[in-house]
């Protein structure tokens, strides 16, 4: 009688161990983790099954598992694991593997998987923006030109219409396309083999997306569920606060960017809504932008503090974790520095800071599909998927 033939892939298990799940072999399948998890559903709960798939190197099983994304990584399972197998880290490592392998070009995924790829990741935008700077400097006759009225205006070098906007728009739509393909692939992987029969009324995936956004993302409800999990007897810093600040700062900054873009390009058609940059500090949009920056700093500080104070015995931090925190720190720091230098009329430092700001912002967004930040798309996609098929 032929049945499914198992193909254990030990190199995958090894990769997973390198991606942050180094303790995964220790699991002896007691299922304490699956019981401890406040989010795992009663039928086929995680992360017990993921642990055995991981140790057997069942790449196929693990990569196709929507439950990877249901996990919000509170670490209760790792705290309670009697064997120190750290299931939470294994789940995170499996997600890291998806960041690495889900989308093309895969070379980026490989660079993103460890510190050794960092120079390449940095050099691409650094060279790009230096090229733009040098071309513009040649046009303007100076590396650090002032505006006609003597102010520092970054647009003198990085002129929006021809430099920043095209680069970022291409990047934005490129990333969107890559993410679209990634999500399509992910959903296809989630789908079990054969026909999937759904009983009852079906809603469009858009309705489910709205549901996920309003019910979970905005409220951070799952974070509360994590906090309300079983007592582990171990002190754990609150995660919801920092993450929520960061998410809201991203929303605010995205809104500000959108308004400025609209004001800039729309202003060319309707002069009444035109916005000139740099905006004065008292301008409402500028105030909002600075509030966003402040929230970002607070959120970053909270999340960084939490990660630093994690109990190393039960929770490890992978390169993915540090990359994301690091890049957001750099974006925030260079952004605030450029504004500060500009206001302080420090010409050269202002341009240098702004240059790095552009480099880091580009890194943050262009590499999003392969970095941990990808979770905001993939997790949302997975949450929408499970809502569509009734697993929650």
Partner 1 sequence: MAGKIGVYFDMQNIGGGLDVEALAAQTREKWGELVPVVKTCPVLACAAEEIKADITDKELDGVLLCGASFRAECDACRLPVQVEHVNLREQCVLSYKNADGSPPDFSAGAPEDLAAMARDYVNMGVVKLQKSELSDSAAVAGIARVLVIGGGVSGLAAAAEAAATGYEVVLVEKSGQLGGAAVNIPVTSPLAPDWTDKQSANLNMKISAVTGNPGITVYLDAQMRTLSGQPGEFRATIATGQGPVSVEVGAVVLATGWKALDDKYLAPMGLGRLPLVVSAAQFGKMLLAGNVSARRIAFVLDTTLAEDAARETAPAEAGEAGKPAGAEAEEPVEKFVKEDLENIRHLAYSNAVNSVGMLRLANSVCEQTGDATQAFILYKNMTVPGILERFYKKMQDRPGIMMTRADVTAVRDGGGHLVVECKNTLLGMDFDLEVDLVVLPTGMVPTTAKEAVVQFDYRQGPDFPDLRLVDGFADSNYICFPYETRRTGVYAAGCVRQPMTMDACEEDARGAVLKAAQCIEAASRGVAVHPRSGDASYPVFNFVRCTQCKRCTEECPFGALDDDEKGTPKPNPARCRRCGTCFGACPERVISFANYNIDQIGSMIREVVVPRDFRKGGPRILILACENDAYPALDMAGMRGRAWNPYVRIIPVRCLGSVNAIWVSDAMSKGFDGVMLLGCKYGDDYQCHFVKGSEICARRKENIAETLNRLGVQPERVEQLEVAIDEYDKVPALIDGFVGRIMDMGPNPFKGM
User: CB 62 → partner 1: shortest distance, Å?
Assistant: 11
**Angle, in degrees to the nearest 10, between helices 319-343 and 347-366:** 150
Report whether 384 contacts 184 (CB < 8 A). Answer: no
User: CB 313 → partner 1: shortest distance, Å?
Assistant: 16
Tell which one of 2, 198, 231, 272 touches partner 1 (CB under 8 A): 2
DSSP 143-179: SSPPPTTS---GGGTS-IIIIIHHHHHHHHHHHHHHH
Residue matched to tokens 């991203």: 250
Within 13 Å and on the Cβ side, how many CA atoms surround 226?
22
User: CB 156 → partner 1: shortest distance, Å?
Assistant: 58
User: CB 93 → partner 1: shortest distance, Å?
Assistant: 15
Q: Which is closer to partner 1, CB of 2 or CB of 231?
A: 2
Give the length of the chain. Answer: 392
Q: Which is closer to partner 1, CB of 57 or CB of 374?
A: 57
Site for partner 1 in 35-94 (CB under 8 A): 44, 49, 52-53, 55-58, 61, 83
Q: Which is closer to partner 1, CB of 53 or CB of 168?
A: 53
Q: Which is closer to partner 1, CB of 26 or CB of 140?
A: 26
Q: Which is closer to partner 1, CB of 58 or CB of 373?
A: 58
Report how far residue 37's alpha carbon sits from residue 78's, in angstroms, rounded to the nearest whole number: 10
Tell which one of 5, 204, 228, 282 touches partner 1 (CB under 8 A): 5
Report whether 348 contacts 185 (CB < 8 A). Answer: no
User: CB 84 → partner 1: shortest distance, Å?
Assistant: 10
Q: Which is closer to partner 1, CB of 14 or CB of 151?
A: 14
Radius of gyration from C-alpha coordinates of the chain: 23
> Under the criterion CB under 8 A, does residue 28 sit at the interface with partner 1?
yes
Q: What angle (nearest 5°) sits at the alpha carbon of residue 168, between those of residues 295 and 109?
A: 85
Report how far residue 388's alpha carbon sits from residue 392's, in angstroms, rounded to the nearest whole number: 10
Q: Which stretch binds partner 1 (CB under 8 A): 10-18, 159-167, 186-194, 336-344?
A: 10-18
x/- site string to partner 1, residues 116 to 135, per CB under 8 A?
Answer: --------------------
User: CB 12 → partner 1: shortest distance, Å?
Assistant: 11
Q: Supply φ then ψ for residue 115, to 5 degrees.
A: -65, -25
Q: Supply φ then ψ for residue 147, to 5 degrees.
A: -70, 170
Q: Which stretch binds partner 1 (CB under 8 A): 26-34, 87-95, 96-104, 117-125?
A: 26-34
Tell which one of 18, 26, 143, 165 touches partner 1 (CB under 8 A): 26
Report whether 48 contacts 29 (CB < 8 A). Answer: yes
Tokens of 138: 């040649």
User: CB 63 → partner 1: shortest distance, Å?
Assistant: 15
Q: Which is closer to partner 1, CB of 14 or CB of 221?
A: 14
Report whether 56 contacts 6 (CB < 8 A). Answer: yes
Report how far residue 305's alpha carbon sits from residue 293's, in angstroms, rounded to the nearest whole number: 18
Q: Which is closer to partner 1, CB of 35 or CB of 279?
A: 35
Report whether 16 contacts 54 (CB < 8 A). Answer: yes
Give the number of residues in contact with partner 1, rule: CB under 8 A: 26
Residues that bind partner 1 (CB under 8 A): 1-6, 8, 10, 13-14, 17, 25-29, 44, 49, 52-53, 55-58, 61, 83
């Amino acid at each position: 009688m032929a049945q499914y033939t198992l193909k254990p892939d030990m190199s995958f298990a090894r990769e997973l161990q390198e991606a942050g799940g180094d303790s995964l072999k220790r699991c002896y399948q007691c299922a304490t983790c699956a019981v401890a998890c406040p989010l795992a559903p009663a039928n086929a709960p995680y992360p017990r099954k993921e642990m055995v798939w991981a140790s057997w190197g069942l790449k196929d099983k693990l990569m196709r598992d929507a439950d990877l994304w249901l996990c919000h990584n509170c670490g209760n399972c790792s705290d309670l694991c009697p064997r120190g197998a750290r299931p939470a880290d294994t789940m995170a490592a499996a997600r890291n593997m998806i960041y690495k392998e889900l989308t093309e070009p895969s070379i980026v995924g490989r660079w993103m998987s460890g510190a050794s790829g960092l120079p390449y990741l940095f050099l691409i935008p650094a060279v790009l923006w230096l090229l733009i700077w040098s071309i513009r400097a040649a046009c303007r006759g100076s590396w650090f030109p002032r505006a006609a009225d003597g102010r520092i205006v970054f647009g003198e070098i990085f002129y929006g219409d021809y430099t920043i906007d095209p680069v970022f728009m291409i990047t934005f739509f490129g990333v969107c396309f890559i993410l679209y393909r990634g999500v399509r692939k992910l959903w296809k992987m989630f789908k079990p083999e054969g026909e999937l029969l759904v009983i009852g009324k079906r809603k469009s995936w858009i309705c489910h997306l709205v549901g996920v956004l309003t019910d979970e993302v905005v409220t951070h409800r799952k974070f509360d569920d994590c906090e309300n999990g079983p007592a582990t007897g171990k002190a754990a810093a609150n995660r919801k606060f920092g993450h929520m600040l960061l998410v809201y700062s991203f929303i605010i900054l995205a809104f500000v960017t959108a308004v400025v873009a609209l004001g800039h390009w729309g202003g060319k058609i309707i002069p009444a809504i035109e916005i000139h940059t740099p905006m004065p500090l008292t301008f409402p949009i500028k105030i909002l932008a600075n509030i966003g920056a402040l929230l970002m700093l607070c959120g970053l500080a909270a999340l960084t503090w939490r990660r630093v104070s994690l109990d190393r015995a039960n929770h490890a931090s992978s390169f993915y974790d540090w990359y994301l925190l690091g890049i957001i720190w750099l974006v925030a720091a260079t952004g605030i520095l450029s504004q500060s230098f500009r206001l302080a009329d420090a010409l050269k430092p202002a341009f240098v800071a702004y240059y790095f700001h552009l480099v880091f912002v580009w890194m943050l967004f262009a590499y999003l599909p392969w970095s941990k930040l990808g979770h905001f798309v993939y997790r949302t996609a997975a949450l929408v998927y499970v809502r569509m098929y009734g697993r929650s």
